[in-house]
Amino acid sequence: MKKLSLTLFFFFSFALVSLAQSDLPTNAVPGKCYAKCYIPDQWKTETETIVSKEASKKIVAVPAKYKTITESLVKQEAGKEVRVIPAKYETRTERVLVKEESKKILVVSPAKYETRTETVEIKAASSRIETVPARYETKTEQIKVEDATTKWVKQKDAMCSAANSEDCMVWCLVEVPAQYKTVSKQVLAAAATTKEVTIPAQYKTITKRVMVAPPVTKEEVIPAEYKTITKVVMVSGPTTEEINIPAQFQTVTKTVVDAPATTNVTDVPLEYKTVTKRVLVKAGGFSEYREVVCSKNMTNQLVRQVQVALQKKGYTVGPAGVDNVLGKDTRAALIKYQNDNNLPVGNLNVETLKHLGIAGY
């Protein structure tokens, strides 16, 4: 804030910046000077009660209750057992066929072969569709990237005679031309097409053996074959008998639910808290004119009174102390005093002089 005040405001000037008639101070008194000072924001403190926690419900789980009981359980159901009476066997001997009668072909003279060479087609002629890709060319053009606009520029006032030019700057509205940039892009010069390509048939030469005379054969009968075997033969099949088996019991102790688990729902009320906050009553800014000391009334005696008053209130006006010069250190001390006391900031205004207790104001 200190840097902003030192940069943007001045305490006195020898010439006023030209203003539009509608922007002149109202109810002005002849022979007095006015300037737009920075008016601090006006705040007030308000206290209010707000909800800090919404109403809710609290669910408490009530566990289940259990009890121990003893009971007799069937360990094995009653049933029936089937007992097998095995079959009876005896040994017998018999002649069995081990190989059927068959016939075999005897080759009297083998087949005759000769080697032959021929050309065969291994792949038929066909066609395929090939794509001719599109052709592009590069074109360059300028496109607008930012529209023409205007902006405010701070310039020195032609009638300024202050030692520091920053103390009397004016704002000018200037035109900013539109911005362009050059871009290159690919443009379609010829669209993609297709063409049909003929693929010829493929052939190869093969050599193979060819039978020119079949073999001469005759049929011969092979008699059946037998053998004598000894085997065990069942003379009476197995039988069964049914036996009753009684049920078996056992005594067991176990824990069972006596009362199931439940839940209790309790209402939790709203919770409130009191908060204190600052509320903006009136926004400040450079919106109001204030009476300031005219350059003709800016005497060494007045500067001395201001420096003495600032020092008494604990503000440092510079390493040289009271020197009757409204230098940068005195200006900085005055701006800090204005900020600390919620006074209009900038210029040596009458409200600040009254607050400092300067005689005659």
**295-315: pLDDT as tens digits:** 888 899 999 999 999 999 999
233-243 pLDDT, tens digit per residue, is 787 878 887 78
The dihedral built from the CA positions of residue 22, 23, 26 and 32, taken in this order, carries a sign that is: negative
Taking the C-alpha atoms of residue 251 and residue 255, their distance in angstroms, rounded to an integer, is 14
**pLDDT band per the 50, 70, 90 thresholds, residue 14:** very low
- The Cα 284–Cα 41 span in angstroms is 4
Rg, the chain, Cα only: 60
Over residues 330-351, the mean pLDDT reads 90
pLDDT of residue 333: 93
The reported pTM is 0.34
Q: What is the mean pLDDT of residues 70-98?
A: 80
The segment with the largest mean pLDDT, out of 48-52, 83-87, 130-134, 270-274, is: 130-134
Give me the pLDDT at residue 336, please.
Answer: 94
Contact residues for 10 (Cβ-Cβ < 8 A; gap 6+): 162, 164, 166, 167, 168, 346, 347
**Once rounded to an integer, what is the mean pLDDT over residues 74-79?**
76
CA distances from 119 to 113, 114, 199, 208, 210 (A): 20, 17, 19, 11, 15
Determine what percent of the chain is predicted with pLDDT higher than 90. 13
Contact 231, 81 (CB under 8 A): no
Instruction: Give the pLDDT confidence score for residue 354 in this predicted structure.
Output: 95
Query: What is the mean pLDDT of the segment spanning 274-291?
Result: 68
Query: What is the distance between the terminal CA atoms of the chain, rounded to a whole angstrom?
Result: 27
pLDDT of residue 15: 29
Residue 284 DSSP SS3 = coil
Structure confidence at residue 171 as a pLDDT band (50, 70, 90)? low
Contact between residue 311 and residue 305 where contact means Cβ atoms under 8 Å apart: no
Whether residue 284 has pLDDT greater than 80: no
223, 230, 222, 221: which is closest to 96 by C-alpha? 230
